[in-house]
Amino acid sequence: MNPLPTSPSPTTFAPAPGSAPLARMVLAQARMEARLMLRNGEQLLLALVIPVIVLVGGVVAAGRLGSTLGGAAAVDVLTPGVLALAVMSTAFTSVAIATGFERRYGVIKLLGASPLPRHGLLLGKALALLIVVALQLVVLVVVGLLLGWEPTLTHPVRTVLGLVLAVGLGTAAFAALGLFVAGVLRAEATLALANLVYLLLMAGGGIVLPTSTYGAAGGLVEWLPSGALGEAMRGALVDGQIDARSLLVLAAWAGLGTVLTARTFKWE
Amino acid sequence: MPHASPAVEIDGLVMAYGDKVAVDGLSLDVARGSITAVLGPNGAGKTTTLETCEGYRAPQRGTVRVLGLDPQRDRTALLPRIGVMLQDGGAWSGVRAVEMLEHMAALHAHPLDTAMLVDRLGLGDCGRTPYRRLSGGQRQRLGLAVALVGRPELVFVDEPTAGMDPQARRTTWELLEEIRGDGVTVVLTTHHMEEAEHLADRIHIIDHGTAIASGTPAELTRGGRSATIRLVVNRPFPDGAPESLRAELGPLTEVRQLDEVSMLIHGPADATTLGRVSRWCEEHGVLPQTLNLGQRTLEDVFLELTGRELAP
């Protein structure tokens, strides 16, 4: 921080206005939002507890049944799917619910009269989201490894690049859709819809299980953002491939969500 | 340092929501370094006016200048210089009181010491309490702290003491007077007469979106043709007493029953009125215990101007 030789004593109210540098404001906003997300019990349930249960439960069940998925060990297929699920839960459901209530409680309105510009607010939100997603992925990767997950490392560069692109584009697509929902519906309706969509996509959206296991419906499911994110993650971590088609589908959803949000979002 | 130009200049502002006109050709100025109260009933257009000054809405007609700037076009330059306290809310439900204040401090270049503000506004006991569990009065005090923390030149406070107990209200008034003393301009809305009368250097009374009177509290309450008579009697009034008393006193009078033994009468301040009140009491079998001719208040002024009570 700059020294303030000319400013009055900090115990008086004499005016000394000014905004903090943009980077400091964005970091403060990101830290605040990430902290609030991690503190919220329900969001933590979506972000970590459910993915861990799905992963452990799926691996245990597959072990009992002695089944594999397309010739690969269940944990190797389920872990990328659960990583995708975690991205979806935070980027879509948590973002939608949090933003819906921020509108309701006048947070966005109050920030609108603060020095933090709107692009600063969006940057802060994006950064908070990436922080939380990164923490989720670290925890889930550890759980997966403990369960015996062996990611494919035949083409490490492709795997890492595919993973980064899948997480980045998946986060962008779901966050844009989450903001769209939060911007047009009331907070309660957003809460209900965001949870419902999460459950439906978790169960039948091609995110945890490969779209190839959906039979005839698989062709449709891969065009969903959930199916595309799941496939892109499995492409990177199971096959060591960059699944260009799925990444393009995610980019298209991100574009659509951004346009819809920009047209409809009301800050208050 | 005194400035020649006003802190806020509103000229011919018109704001409508669909068919409903909220602000209808409002013009007013706010002098730098003053406390200015915008007084009016709910729905008079106070909040809409403030929100236009804060850059939330563009004027549909007329102009608004705040610290010489256009609140919409010059938003980036203006926002760091003003503090805003919203009428309700403006915090995450899970954020702790002090955390919220520190966050808002971090958005400014030279924020006030948050510990000092916490102390001054009595937020020490609830500093770690999540916002959703704060009482109405605590939320108001946090809202005021948030408005002040960036060391603004000008603060807009919308109903600052709504929901506060009398002691917190008194503390808040003292704080607002102190910041004025340090050179901060304060614009507050209220429908609380005593607040405007106690605090404001200048009052603008707003009704149906226009300023119907402006002046210092002394100017507004000086003279006038009416007074408040407070009548307290020894036994409950008969049914229909206010109507019958009003019929006795004539059309220039307003009668409001406060409880079963007391009434407020707004009307001409003369011996005839007092005589008629005494006679009415005699006829209705009640004995006046108190028959006070009160000083003219802002409430009387408002009643004269609009024919309505201000209190919600």
Domains of chain A: which residue ranges? Answer: 22-263
Q: Which residues of A touch B176 (CB under 8 A)?
A: none
**Rounded CA separation B182/B83 (Å):** 15
- Alpha-carbon distance values, A190 to A85, A268, B203 (Å): 19, 15, 43
Residues 6+ apart with CB under 8 A from A221: A204, A205, A206, A211, A214, A227
Q: What is the DSSP letter of A191?
A: H
Please write the tens of the pLDDT for every residue from B157-193. 999 998 888 888 999 999 999 999 999 999 999 888 8
Instruction: Quote the pLDDT of residue B269.
Output: 67
Letter for the amino acid at B43? G
CB-CB under 8 Å, B95 with A36: yes
Q: What kind and span of H or E run contains A85?
A: helix A74-88
Output the pTM of the full model. Answer: 0.81
pLDDT band, very low/low/confident/very high, at B295 (cuts 50, 70, 90): low
A4 pLDDT more than 70: no
According to CATH, the topology of domain B8-221 is Rossmann fold (3.40.50)
Top-confidence residue, A137 or B301 = A137
Instruction: Quote the pLDDT of residue A268.
Output: 61
Domain definitions of chain B by residue range: 8-221, 226-295
Mean pLDDT score, B220-235: 75
If you measure CA to CA, which chain A residue comes closest to B155?
Answer: A15
pLDDT band, very low/low/confident/very high, at B4 (cuts 50, 70, 90): low
Instruction: Quote the pLDDT of residue B213.
Output: 86
**A11 touching B, CB under 8 A?**
yes
Instruction: Quote the pLDDT of residue A76.
Output: 93
Mean pLDDT score, A11-37: 93
Please write the tens of the pLDDT for every residue from B116-151. 999 999 898 899 999 999 998 899 999 999 999 999
User: Which of A10, A18, A115 is opposite residue B112, by nearest beta carbon?
Assistant: A10
* CB-count burial class (<10 Å; 0-12, 13-18, 19+) for B282: exposed
Mean pLDDT score, B71-93: 92
Instruction: Quote the pLDDT of residue A6.
Output: 47
Q: Which residues of B touch A30 (CB under 8 A)?
A: none
If you measure CA to CA, which chain A residue comes closest to B53?
Answer: A113
Total beta-carbon pairs less than 8 A apart between chain A and chain B: 116
B264 pLDDT more than 70: yes
Q: Which residues of B touch A24 (CB under 8 A)?
A: 106
Instruction: Quote the pLDDT of residue B291.
Output: 79
Percentage of chain B exceeding pLDDT 70: 93
A81: helix, strand or coil: helix
**B174 touching A, CB under 8 A?**
no
Which stretches of chain B are DSSP H helices? 46-53, 75-78, 97-106, 114-120, 136-148, 166-181, 193-199, 217-221, 241-249, 271-283, 298-306
User: Which of B90, B93, B146 is opposite residue A109, by nearest beta carbon?
Assistant: B90
**Rounded CA separation A183/A180 (Å):** 5
CB-CB under 8 Å, B184 with A18: no
A17-31, A248-262, B292-306: least confidently modelled range: B292-306
Instruction: Quote the pLDDT of residue A15.
Output: 93
**B150 touching A, CB under 8 A?**
yes
B70 pLDDT more than 50: yes
pLDDT, mean over chain B: 88
Radius of gyration for chain B, computed over Cα atoms and rounded to the nearest angstrom: 22
A20-34, A77-91, A240-254, B251-265: least confidently modelled range: B251-265
CB-CB under 8 Å, A11 with B116: yes
pLDDT band, very low/low/confident/very high, at A125 (cuts 50, 70, 90): very high
Percentage of chain A exceeding pLDDT 90: 75
CB-CB under 8 Å, A115 with B90: no
CATH architecture of B226-295: 2-Layer Sandwich (3.30)
Residues 93-112 of A with CB under 8 A from B: 101-102, 105-107, 109-110, 112
Instruction: Quote the pLDDT of residue A8.
Output: 46
Mean pLDDT score, B246-254: 81
CB-CB under 8 Å, B109 with A18: yes
CB-CB under 8 Å, A113 with B55: yes
Encoded tokens for A44: 């933590």
Mean pLDDT score, B243-266: 83
Mean pLDDT score, A13-39: 95
* CB-count burial class (<10 Å; 0-12, 13-18, 19+) for B140: buried
Instruction: Quote the pLDDT of residue B309.
Output: 63
